Structure 1
Amino acid sequence: MEPPRGFWASLWNFIFFLPFFIGLLILGFIKGIIMFPVIFLIITVAISVIILGLWPIHCFYTYYCILSTKQFGPALKLILSICIAAVLISWPPIGIACSLLFGAAYGLLAPIFATFQAVNEGKTNKFYHCICDGTWSAIKGSFTIIRDVLDVCYHSYFSIMDDIRRQGPPEGKYYEIRLLYVPLALIAGILGSIVDLPVISVIALCKSPYMLFKGWHRLFHDCIGREGPFLETICVPFAGFAILLWPLAVVGAVLGSIVSSIFLGAYAAVIVYQESSFWFGLCYIIASLSIYDEYSNDVLDLPEGSCYPRPRYRKKAPSRTTSRSISFSRPSSFKNPPARTSSLNAPMLELKPLELADALFKECQRHGEVMALEGIITLKDIEDAKSKRDRGRVISVGLPAYCLLQTLLRSTKANSTGILLGDNVTEITSSNRPKDTFFDWFLNPLLIIKDQIKASNLSEAEEQYLGKLVLLSGDPARLKNSNIGPEPESELRRAELDALARRLQGITKSISRYPTFRRRFESSMKNILEELAKKNGGGEKSGSTEPQTVPRSKSMFARIFSQKSFKSRTNGEGPDQKGETCERDVEIA
């Protein structure tokens, strides 16, 4: 939609949308007040029960993993045991307090936002959705939040601690700490927090009025001129809501600055330990005030620089290039910002944050159904993935990693600059990726692995072998007995493929620890269970854990990689005496 031209056209659009926005806001507030106590009680009570119920287990298992791991030395284990005691003691009150705040915010704001979303384009009977949206859907959303919190506190926590306990020391040397500098580091960290907390709090409070009026000035200017967030009609209610809530954003920024000042000052302990000098820690305490002042000036578009001194707190001064890259001073592009409407007029497809996740779960369901029909995935794999953390990695890690591998192979063969999703149309690149740091942690490593796969120039047989490694590495016995995909003759080539498989499984395991993953992944597993039930003809009960025979064939991998080539080159044989179905090895051209 083109923005209105001229003052009178802009004023008329503003007057036209103002009562529309106020009506939706009042309706949303009414629903929020009605649903607030129910949602608040559900979220607060459930999360508090989860935290308090798992707290004894967290305490025991945390100390067990730290004391039994081979990564840390004796002195480091002692220091960690003392520090973790404070964390474990403070976790229940902090977690319950956060559940209170989140339950209150979600209970009030979820119905309001659902009311605004009810007038979105493409919805029929908008009046009905304005009245009903945000009631039962908000209650279901609260149970979804509880489920995600439970997954993080139980499955993600134990997965992380198991890795700490099992992983050996890197390069045969465990991590150790120098006890001589620990007292000095603690003193510097405490001094840094004591100094930075009041000073940074005063700086944030002094700059908060400017942030309040500057934000209101920009939002009202965009509202009258229909620019920025007010350019599209559907965004007008949300942008108007941002005007009303802007004081809360300023308060949140001030509180965030106060809380972050504690950690910013406590970083002096790290400086003392790294530089082996208490003096450099004191210098950092003074420099941290200048760092925060310069950063806040850049955020608020104030003049560069700071009135606080910035002494040197590192023995090795950073190079000029490095200092420019890490400096908080605004780059030249901030001095001459582009027009606010020029970029919005150009059509650009920006993917939703969960676009990659949705594509991953669809691929897991599709490949999982094929593997279930082929016998590669058994009912025992799914049962192990549900009930046991150690076993069942073929499903919980191997299958998502295998789907990511297929996505990267498909993107490589299509000469895509980014990652080509399952529909072969949607492509995630550096320009349209979600603008969240969370996606940089995983998207950039996947792009690097894709470039490595492209540089490796894998043959079809090597692709099949890599797929076997990625899928079955969680079950060494099946990996050893499987004949799916011949091993490369070169030992160097096998090492390269093993490294790619481990790296891809590591990224997948990290992704599986984040909220919503387990819940969404289990919904995909239900469809695979249905395929297994169809294959078995209802003969096996859903709770049975009897392993099924895994056919020693390359058919599944060959079909997925090259169905036409497989059909033209595979000759089936009859069943042998053990009842297993054997097929001839596929000859790779």
Structure 2
Amino acid sequence: MEVSMGFLSMLWSFLSFLPIFLLLLILGIIKAAIIGPIVATIILVGNSAVIIGLWPAHFVWTYYCIAKTKRLGWVLKTMALLSLPMPLLTWPIFGIIGSLLLGIGYGYFAPLIATFEAIGEQVVHKLIHCFTDGCVSTMKGSCTVVRDFTDFCFHSYFSLMDDLREKVSEDEKPIDLKLSRLPSCFVIGTLAVLLDVPIITALALGKSPYMLFKGWQRLLEDLIGREGPFLETVCVPFAGLAIILWPLAVVAAVISAFFCSFFLSLYSVIIVYQEKSLKMGFAYMVSVVSLFDEYANDQLYLREGTCLPRPKYRKHTPLSESVRRRQQYDLDSSTILSSNEAKLVSKRSKTLKTAIRQLKPVQIWDWLFRSCELNGKFLLREGLIEVSDIQECLLKGKCKKLSIRLPAWCVFQCLLRSAKSDADGLLISMYPIFALICDEVELTNFNWPKDKVLEWFLGPLLIMKEQIKGLQLSDNEEACLGKLIMTHNSQRPDDWNDSGFPSNDNVRRAQLQAIIRRLQGIVASMSRMPTFRRRFNNLVKSLYVEAIETGAIVENGGSSRSKGKINMSVHNANENNVTDEFEMV
């Protein structure tokens, strides 16, 4: 949308903004100079202590798990054992350096950005917040970073290693490598690193000046003309900050291109091994340069495609799910651009970020844990969550059982609602158990967070939703499945023999068990993410308080004891109170 402003008005808007911006910048730099060293020290010392303290255990346990696993063949296991010393010995060095850089970046930029956020339109007492925001919150955030890092190193890593030692089924073949293909893989991998890394880095360096000046041009045009993302007054200070920090973004892009070039070039080893052809490996070495050039042109809004050659490096190129989703996204995007709603998008904007509301990863986490809290209280009253599980999680730290079953139950309910409503995506609601009338948010390829980790979960969940829709579950089957997720194991077909499942069809049972196994596997992967354990511990504490209030746990002088049965009374929640307490994502 164009903003009709004369040259003098635009110039006056720009000049009147400069003093405010400079004052905020100076104040933010002063706050960053005071808070930054403290935050950097907390993160550096905390993470370094965790890395050095757990390094012997990581070293020994990694070797033990890989040596004992039956998921790997003897060739791959031998190569892994021989190559492990290098990453294990260099892990403390890179971990400490990364913690230092993270501490510096977070400690200096968080107070600076918080200073500009303090003048937002929704903020009251802006002057006070300009001085206070970003000080205590940044120091608390640094402690949270150390805690999440500790959870990952102490819990998530050992959980991943334990999965390697799990028993495999008799029909499952171990992953192995064929020795006859290794020489060609080694040759192609070495040549690819020697050729592709310098060429890709040179392309990134060559395009960096254009990225610098093009970015400055866009930012200045949006700032002076108050167009595009800077129509709102609260966004204007960030434009000035982005103009100053834009060279750092360009340098970071070049550095990331250099490091990514190693992974792009080494993928040629996988091409040679999968295609069983040295020729295809050479073809990929040439094609990856053109792929990078085309990607860079798309990001910089240059000409479409590339003039570099791109030979075919796959004998058979089936259309992957990600490519199909990308094509569907492009098709739907062009449809939206041709509609009347596209008039709201700035002519200078070549993306749909202003037309489509993009959800953030933290919003998905908020929905999941709020849903687990509400559903957990309901399941606690129904007796599907035992008090012993809550106490074991709080006192002994053993939350594996509860941390998988409760989120799996919540996600399963989401899949059921989405399948029944015939939605294209996933419907999330904060109040699934109380059946309140409220707007639901549909997660699709458009508004799903552009986070690579979370994107891994969307595709399988959408497939499971379609499978549930095809099975057309009855009400009795839905209720029984919800109970089985919380109380039974789904690893073997005979696990449900005495479960009271209404259907005797073995094929139908096997299909449902496969869906639940995949769902529990996805939740298990989620539980290893750094922030999951901290937030789930807070969730368990709220369930513990709920158990005390319902009489499931009776505290006597600081100690607690469990009753034999949980109060089974139905929770009659007031609709208005629940709606006011939680906010839709």
Q: Assess same fold via TM > 0.5.
A: yes
Alignment partners' CA distance in 2, 1:275 and 1:157:
33
Per the alignment, do residues 407 and 281 of structure 1 end up closer, same or farther by CA in structure 2, a change over 3 Å counting? closer
Are 1:362 and 2:370 matched, yes or no?
yes
Instruction: Assess if the C-alpha contact under 8 Å between 1:351 and 1:428 holds in 2.
Output: no
Unaligned runs of 5+ residues in structure 1 are: 561-589
1:191–1:387 distance in 2 versus 1, CA, 3 Å: farther
Q: Secondary structure at the match of 1:72?
A: coil
Classify 1:438/1:234 alpha carbon distance in 2 versus 1 (closer, same or farther; 3 Å): farther
Cα separation, partners in 2 of 1:212 and 1:392, compared to 1, 3 Å: closer
Counting only pairs closer than 5 Å after superposition, residues 135-534 of structure 1 correspond to structure 2 as: 135-168=135-168, 171-304=171-304, 306=306, 308-314=308-314, 316=315, 318=317, 340-341=345-346, 349-386=357-394, 392-417=399-424, 418-423=426-431, 424-430=438-444, 431-473=446-488, 486-534=501-549
Contact 2:65 2:162 in 1 (8 A): yes
1:323 deviation in Å?
13
Q: How does 1:106-121 map to 2 (within 5 A)?
A: 106-121=106-121
Does the CA-based 8 Å contact 1:52-1:92 persist in structure 2? yes
Q: 1:408 to 1:199 in 2, by over 3 A?
A: closer
Q: Which amino acid aligns with 1:403?
A: C
Deviation, structure 1 residue 309: 4.0
1:96-111 pair list within 5 angstroms: 96-111=96-111
Q: 1:306 to 1:446 in 2, by over 3 A?
A: closer
State the 1:393 CA deviation. Answer: 3.6
Q: Encode CA deviations 1:555-588: one digit per residue, 9 max, x unaligned.
A: 79xx79xxxxxxxxxxxxxxxxxxxxxxxxxxxx
**In the TM superposition, what whole-angstrom CA distance separates every residue of 1:338-364 from its partner, at most 9, and x where no partner exists?**
774279898865444322221221121
Distance in structure 2 (CA, Å) of the matches to 1:448 and 1:71? 26
1:18 is matched with which residue? Answer: 18
Q: Contact 1:200 / 1:261 at 8 angstroms: preserved in 2? A: yes
State the alpha-carbon separation in 2 of the partners of residues 59 and 413 from structure 1. 49
Identity of aligned residues (%): 43
Partner of 1:587: none
**Given that residues 4 and 226 in structure 1 are in contact (C-alpha distance below 8 angstroms), is that contact kept between their aligned partners in structure 2?**
no
Paired residue secondary structure (1:538): strand
CA separation of 1:204 and 1:109: change in aligned 2, threshold 3 A = same
Instruction: Supply the AA of the counterpart residue of 2:477.
Output: E
| Alpha-carbon shift at residue 533 of structure 1 (Å) | 2.5
What are the superposed Cα offsets for residues 152-173 of structure 1, whole Å, 9 maximum, x if unpaired?
Answer: 1122112222222215168432
Please report the TM-score for the alignment, with normalisation by the length of structure 1. Answer: 0.83
Say if 2:3 and 2:227, in contact at 8 Å, map to a contact too: yes
Please give the per-residue CA displacement for 1:92-124, whole angstroms capped at 9, x wherever unaligned.
111111111111111100101111222223322
Q: Report if aligned partners of 1:461, 1:485 keep a CA contact under 8 Å in 2.
A: no
**Alignment RMSD:** 3.6
Deviations 1:60-106 (A, max 9, x none): 22222222122111111101212333221221111111111111111
Q: What is the CA–CA distance in structure 2 between the aligned matches of 1:392 and 1:35, rounded to whole Å?
A: 36
Name the CA shift for 1:387/1:190 in 2 (closer, same or farther; >3 Å): farther
8 Å contact from structure 2 (residues 39, 107) kept in 1: yes
Change (3 A) 1:289 1:419: same
Q: Aligned partners of 2:497 and 2:236: how far apart in 1?
A: 59
CA distance in 2, matches of 1:509, 1:416: 26
1:202 CA drift (Å)? 2.1
Q: Secondary structure at the match of 2:361?
A: coil
Would the aligned equivalents of 1:376 and 1:550 in 2 still touch at CA under 8 Å? no
Structure 1 residue 203, shift from structure 2 partner:
2.1
> Kindly tell me: are residues 548 and 171 of structure 1, through their superposed partners in 2, closer, same or farther at Cα, counting changes over 3 Å?
farther
CA shift for structure 1 position 442:
2.1
- Distance apart, 1:3 and its partner CA: 4.6
Whole-angstrom CA distance in 1 between matches of 2:518 and 2:160: 17
Structure 1 residue 145 displacement after superposition: 0.8
C-alpha contact (below 8 Å) 2:552/2:562 kept by paired residues: no
**Aligned residue in 2 for 1:570:** none
Q: Distance in 1 between matches of 2:2 and 2:103?
A: 39
Tell me the distance in 1 between the aligned counterparts of 2:225 and 2:474.
Answer: 58
Query: For structure 1, which segment, 340-349 or 294-303, has the greater mean C-alpha deviation from structure 2 after superposition?
Result: 340-349
Check conservation: 2:490, 2:516, Cα contact below 8 A. no
TM-score (norm 2): 0.84
Aligned AA (1:28): G
Post-superposition shift, 1:370? Answer: 2.7
How far residue 539 of structure 1 moved from its aligned partner, in angstroms, is: 4.2
Q: Is the 8 A contact 2:40 2:100 kept in 1?
A: yes
**Counterpart code for 2:247:** P
Structure 1 contact 462–485 (Cα < 8 Å) conserved:
no
Larger mean CA deviation between 17-26 and 49-58 belongs to 17-26
SS at match of 1:79: helix
Q: Give the Cα–Cα distance (whole angstroms) in 1 for the partners of residues 316 and 499 of structure 2.
A: 54
- Looking at structure 1, the residues matched to 495 and 323 of structure 2 have their Cα atoms a distance apart, in angstroms, of 52
1:469/1:501 contact within 8 Å kept: no
Shift of 1:22: 2.1
Does 2:545 align with 1:538? no
Structure 2 distance, partners of 1:320, 1:155, is 38
Per-residue CA shift, 1:121-166, capped at 9, x if unaligned? 3322221111111111110000011111111112211222222221
SS at the partner of 2:448? coil
Greater alpha carbon shift after TM alignment, 43-52 vs 262-271: 262-271
Residue type of the partner of 1:102?
Answer: L
SS of 2:112's partner is helix
Letter of the 2:386 partner, please give it. T
Matches of 1:116 and 1:78, distance apart in 2: 54
SS of residue in 1 equivalent to 2:455 = helix
Size of the alignment, in residue pairs? 550
| SS class of match (1:107) | helix
Query: Counterpart of 1:513 in 2: which secondary structure?
Result: coil
Shift of 1:482: 12
Deviation, 1:324, is 9.4
Measure, in 2, the Cα distance between the counterparts of 1:348 and 1:318: 32
Task: Give, in whole Å, the separation in 2 of the partners of 1:164 and 1:516.
Answer: 23
Counterpart of 1:122 in 2: which secondary structure?
Answer: coil
- 5+ residue gaps, structure 2, are 432-437, 572-585
Shift in Å, 1:49: 1.1
Q: Distance in 2 between matches of 1:455 and 1:291?
A: 39
